[in-house]
Amino acid sequence: MAAVELSRDATPKWVYVFAAGKAEGNAAMIDLLGGKGANLAEMACLGLPVPPGFTITTEVCGLYYENGKSLPEGLGPQVDQALELIGNETGAVFGSEENPLLVAVRSGGRASMPGMMDTILNLGLNDRTVTGLARNSGDDRFAYDSYRRFIQMYGDVVLGVDHTVFEDILDNYKNLNGFSYDTELGAKEWQKIIALYKKAIENETGKPFPQDTSEQLWGAIGAVFGSWQNARAVTYRRLHAIPDSWGTAVNVQAMVFGNMGNTSATGVAFTRNPSTGVNEIYGEYLVNAQGEDVVAGIRTPQPLTAKARREAEDPNPSLEEEMPEAFAQLESIFATLEQRYRDMQDIEFTIQNGKVWMLQTRSGKRTTEAAVRIAVDLAEEGIITREEAVLRVDPGGFTQLLHPTIDSDADKELLTTGLPASPGAAAGGIVFTSDEAEKQKQQGRDVILVRTETSPEDIHGMHASAGILTARGGMTSHAAVVARGMGVPCVSGAGALRINEKAGTLSVGKNVLQAGDVITIDGATGRVYAGAVPMRQPQLSGDFARLIAWADEARVLGVRANADTPKDAKQARAFGAQGIGLCRTEHMFFDAERILAMREMICATTEDGRRAALAKILPVQRADFIELFEIMDELPVTIRLLDPPLHEFLPREEREIEAVAAALAMPTEKLKARIAELAEFNPMLGMRGSRLAIRYPEITEMQARAIFEAAIEAEKRLGAVVEPEIMIPLVAYRHEFDILAGVIRSVAETIGRESGKPLSYKLGTMIELPRACLKAGELTAGDHGADFLSFGTNDLTQTVLGLSRDDAAPILSAYSAQGVYEEDPFVSIDQEGVGELVRIGVERGREAKPALKVGICGEHGGDPASVAFFHAAGFDYVSCSPFRVPVARLAAAQAAIRAKLKS
Ligand code: ADP
Ligand code: MG
Ligand code: MG
C-alpha cells in the first residue's frame, strides 16, 4: 500500500545531499552528479572536511530545456529540504538576518568545461543579512567585502551586467580616494561601493538588485542551466565532442571564507608536480582572499611549500611556513585522496580561521613527462599495477617527450626569465595574435605566440604555435594550464616584457623586438633567449625507459622503423625499433651528387645506356646497404625495390637538363623529347613499382646485386648471419611477383655461386592495391610465393578511397567540416573500409601460407588508434618513422592489455 502511494506521489530524486562523513552520492555517479558533485560527495564519504551542500542532477538540466527553459515542479521542495539540512549542519538559516547561511552556486558537468557559467559565491547576502554576517564574524570589513563580491558576481553572471562596469566603479573610487590596493579598503568604503554597484545594476537592468534570497538562489540555479547552451559552451562541446544531452549539474554549497583575515586563505594544489611529475605538493595560495582571486592574477599568489618558495626566491612565506598545521592537514588529505583515486589530484581548498576545507578534487592534467613519472611512481608505490601504469600514459603525447632541449653549451643571449609553465624548448618568429599564429603556421613557419595573457579565445593560436610566452599569469594561469595540456612549451608571467600589440613590438629593458623576430623559449627553466638557440635531441632514459620496458613486456606486436639512411637507422635503434620495416631505396638518390646518375638511368633510351648509369649507382647503393646492415646488426631489414613515380626524378630546370644531357652525351633537345615521352597524366597510377621493374628488369638486377653483395660484406664484418628481406612494390598479380622474383633469384644464384655459399634471404611484396588484398592468397601460395606481406597503407588508402594524398588537403578540410571523415584517413586508418580489405588480405594470405609474416609500413604504423587496429587484425609488426617508434611501442602494449582485460 505504502509502495503504491509512493510511486504515485513521488517526484524523481533530483537533489543529492553531502556533508562531512555522509553523502547520498559518490565518485561513481559522475553522469548524474557531474564530476564536481560526485567528487564532493566522495570526499564527504571519506570523512574529509567538505562544507555541506547538495547537487541538483544533470537530469534536471535536460528537463529544464524540455520545459522551455523552466525548472520542473517538485524541485522546489527538494531544494528547500536540502537547504534546511545544510542549515542544520552549519547552524545557520538561509535568508535569516540573525544567523545567515551563505552558499556558493557552482556548475559542473561530466567533463570539466570552461565556457560554462562562473561560480557565484556569497549568495544569500542582502542589506539585512550582511549586518548579521558582520555581527557574527565580528568583522565588518569582511562582511561588506563579501557582499560587494556577491553583487559583482551575481550582476555579471546572472543579470548580465558587464564586469567592466563594476571594475570601473571600483577603480574610479580608488583613484579618487587615493587607494592602490583592495586590501586597503575598509567596511565604510565597501559600503559606499556597494551603493554604487546597486545603482549601476538598476540603471543597466531597470530593476533593483534582488534582496529576496530565494529569488537570488533560483536566479543562480537557472543561470547555471541556462549557461549549458551559451555560445562559448556550445563551441567548446563541439570542439571536444561532448554531447549536448549530457547536461550540467548544479552544486549549492555552504560558503567557507578565505577572506576572514590573516588566518584565512584560499588556494589550489596538485598532489604531485604536474609539470615534472615529482612527488611533491605543488600549488599556490593567497591569504585573506576568496575564490578565483588566485587564478585571476590580481595579486601574486605564494607557493605552498618551503622548497618551492626557496627555489622561486620568493620573499613571502609559503603556506608550509605560515600555517604549518593547515599545511600538515592538507598533506594528509592529499595522501588519502591519492589512495582513493589512485591518481594525482588537482585540488581547490579554502582555509577559514586556520581550518582547512576541501572544495574540489579531480584527476589533474599533466604534461606527458609528468604522466610518465607519476605512472611509474604510483606503480612503484604499489598503488597501481605496471599494466595500469602503461595504460595511464597517452601515446599520442609521447612525441612531446621527444622534444628537443636547449643545448646547454651553446652561446646564447638571455632576454628575460618567466615561469617554467610547460616544458620543452621552442624557437620561432614572434607573433602577437592567435590569428596571425594560425596564418603563419599554415605557411609553414614556426611561431612563438607572445601575449600579455591568454584567454579561451586564443586556443587556435596556441595550438598553431611552437611555443607560448606571456607577460602575466602564474603556473595555474590559462596559458600555463592549456599549454601543458597541449604539450606546447610555455613560459608564463615574464613580468619584464612590455608588449605593444598595435605597434607590433616586444620590449625587454633596452631590447626592442619586432613581430617576426626569432626568439627561443625554454619551458623547463622559464628562460627566454634572443634568436634561435641550438638544441639537443632527446633520448629514452629514466622513467620513460622504465615505462617503455613495462610496455614491451605486455606487447605482442613487433615495432620496426621506416629508415632509409644510417642516421634514421641509428635513431630507430635508439628508440628501440626491432628492425627496419621499410627502407625506401629511391630515397637514397635524392642526394645532390647521386641524383645525376639516377636521372641518367631514367632518361637513357637504351638498355646499354641504363646499364651504364646503373653501374655507377651499384657501388653507392651497396655501400649504403652495408652500413644499414651493420647498424641494424642482426635485426631484420626490409628493403623495397625502386618505386618512384618517375616524375619525382625527372630533371626540370634547364641547368639540370643540361647536366644530364652532358652525362648521357645526348643533345639537349633529344633529352627534352625523352622527358616529354616519360611524362604521365597520373604518375601515382603510372609507370612505377613492379611495372617499372618489369619494363626495365636491369634495375631490379642491379638492386638485388647491391643488396646481396652488401649482405655478404656485412656478414663478414659482423660475424653474423644477415638475411635481407626484399620487398617488391605495387604488385596486383601473382605473375608480376613471379617475374621479378625470378630476376632476383637468378641474381642470388649467380652471386651464391661466385661467393661459394648459398645466400639466405626472404622475398615479399607490398600490399598497396585492392586487388592485392583480395588476391593475397594467390600472392603467397606455395614455396615460391611471397614469404611476407607488408601493407603499404598510404598507397592502399589512396587506391581504396580513390583519393590522391597530394591533392587531399582541401578535400579533407571540407569533408571533416561536414563530418564525412571522422579522422584524416591518411593519419588514422579507415578501419571500416580500408581496414576490411586489410583484414581480408591477412586472412587469405595466412590461409595459403600459415607461417606468413605480416607487417604494415605506412604512416599509420605510428598512429595509436591504427596500431590498436593492426594488433587486433593479427599483424606481426608495424613499422613507422623512428620518432614514432616509442609511440607505437606504447600503443601496441595498450592494445594488448586492453584486449586481455576484455577477455
Ligand atoms: P570552477 O569549476 O571554475 O573551478 P568552482 O565551482 O570550483 O569553479 O569555484 C571556483 C572557486 O570558488 C573555488 O576554487 C573556490 O575558491 C571558490 N568556491 C567554490 N565553492 C566555494 C565554497 N563553498 N566556499 C568558498 N569558496 C568556494
Ligand atoms: Mg575556475
Ligand atoms: Mg574549481
Q: Which residue from 257, 348, 362 has its CB within 8 A of the most atoms of ligand 1, so it is best to mutate? A: 348
- Structural domain contains residue 675: no
541 belongs to a structural domain: no
pLDDT at 297: 54
Name the residue at shortest CA distance from atom 6 of ligand 1: 106
Residue nearest ligand 1's atom 16 by CA: 291
Q: What is the pLDDT of residues 235-244, one digit of tens each?
A: 888 888 889 9
Q: Is residue 382 part of a domain?
A: no
Mean pLDDT, rounded, for 224-230:
92
Question: Same domain for 840 and 888?
Answer: yes
Q: Which residues contact 683 (CB under 8 A, 6 or more apart)?
A: 645, 646, 647, 648
Q: Residue 24 domain-assigned?
A: yes
Torsion angle, alpha carbons of 26, 27, 29, 33, to 10: 90
- Asked whether the predicted pLDDT for residue 802 surpasses 90, the reply is yes
Beta bridge partners of 431: 449
Instruction: Kindly state whether residues 794 and 829 are assigned to the same domain.
Output: yes
Give, for ligand 1, the residue of 250, 288, 359 to mutate: max count of ligand atoms closer than 8 Å to Cβ: 359
Residue 661 is assigned to a structural domain of this protein:
no
CATH number for 625 = 3.20.20.60
Ligand 1-lining residues (CB < 6 angstroms): 51, 104, 106, 119, 121, 253, 255-256, 266, 291-292, 348, 350, 359-360
- For position 478, what pLDDT does the model report? 82
223 with 201, same domain?
Answer: no
Q: What are the residues whose beta carbons fall under 8 Å from the beta carbon of 216, sequence distance 6 or more? A: 123, 124, 126, 154, 210
592 pLDDT band (50/70/90 cuts)?
low
Residue having the nearest C-alpha atom to atom 13 of ligand 1: 291
Q: How many whole angstroms from 654 Cα to the centroid of ligand 2?
A: 63
Q: Whose CA is nearest to atom 27 of ligand 1?
A: 291
Rounded to the nearest angstrom, the distance between the alpha carbon of 856 and the centre of ligand 2 is: 45
**Across-strand partners of 520?**
427, 529
**Ligand 1 midpoint to CA 106 (Å):** 7
State the average pLDDT over residues 356-381: 95
Ligand 1 atom closest to 251 (CA): 6
Taking the CA of 362 as reference, the closest ligand is 3
Beta-bridged to residue 639, according to DSSP, are: 583, 726
pLDDT exceeds cutoff 70 at 1: no
CA of 478 to the centre of ligand 2 (A): 10
Give yes or no: residues 198 and 226 share one domain.
no
- Residue 668: inside a domain: no
Looking up residue 70, the CATH number of its domain turns out to be 3.30.1490.20
pLDDT band at 6 (very low <50, low <70, confident <90, very high): very low
Atom of ligand 1 nearest to the CA of 107: 6
Whether 737 contacts 779, CB under 8 Å = yes
Confidence check: pLDDT of 570 > 70: yes
**pLDDT for residue 869:** 98
- Give the ligand whose atoms come closest to the C-alpha of residue 121: 1
Whether 339 and 288 map to the same domain: the answer is yes
User: What was the pLDDT predicted at 5?
Assistant: 41
pLDDT (tens digit per residue) in 141-177: 999 999 999 999 999 999 999 999 999 999 999 999 9
CATH number of the domain bearing residue 318: 3.30.470.20
Instruction: Tell me, yes or no, whether 509 and 632 share the same domain.
Output: no
DSSP string, 155-191: HHHTS---HHHHHHHHHHHHHHHT--SGGG--HHHHH
In this structure, is residue 356 part of a structural domain?
A: yes
Total structural domains in the chain?
Answer: 5
Same structural domain, 146 and 292: no
Catalytic residues: 478, 857
Whether residues 561 and 511 fall in one domain: no
State the closest ligand 1 atom to the C-alpha of 360, by its place in the atom list counted from 1.
7
* pLDDT for the residue 15: 98
All residues at 6 or more sequence positions from 865 whose CB lies less than 8 Å from its CB, including other chains? 823, 828, 829, 831
> Are residue 484 and residue 362 in the same domain, yes or no?
no
Atom of ligand 1 nearest to the CA of 103: 23
Strand partners, 172: none
Owning domain of residue 587: 555-645+680-902
Q: Which of 196, 228, 255 is the last residue of a domain?
A: 255
Q: Give the distance (Å) from ligand 3 centre to CA of residue 362.
A: 9
Q: Quick one: pLDDT at residue 590?
A: 67
Q: Which ligand 1 atom is nearest residue 106's CA?
A: 6
Measured CA distances, 593 to 589, 598, 599, 655, 699 (Å): 8, 10, 11, 14, 19
For atom 11 of ligand 1, which residue has the closest CA? 291
Average pLDDT, the chain: 92
Return the CATH number at 423. Answer: 3.50.30.10
Confidence of residue 625 (pLDDT cuts 50, 70, 90): very high
Task: Tell me which residue has cell 551575481.
Answer: 154
Mutate to test the pocket of ligand 1, among 39, 119, 268 (most ligand atoms within 8 A of CB): 119
Same domain, 475 and 624: no
**Are 23 and 111 in the same domain?**
yes
Which region holds residue 91: left if phi is over 0, alpha if psi is between -120 and 50, else beta?
left
- Encode 291-317: b = buried (16+ Cβ within 10 Å), e = exposed: bbbbbebeeebbbbbbebbeeeeeeee
Work out the pLDDT band at 132, boundaries 50, 70, 90: very high
Q: DSSP letter string over 96-154?
A: -SSSEE-EEEEEEESS--TTSPPPEEEET--TTHHHHHHHHHT-HHHHHHHHHHHHHHH
**Shared-domain flag, residues 444 and 579:** no
pLDDT tens profile 36-95:
999 999 999 999 999 999 999 999 999 999 999 999 999 999 999 999 999 999 999 999
Establish if 220 belongs to a structural domain. yes
Q: What are phi and psi of 898, to 5 degrees?
A: -60, -40
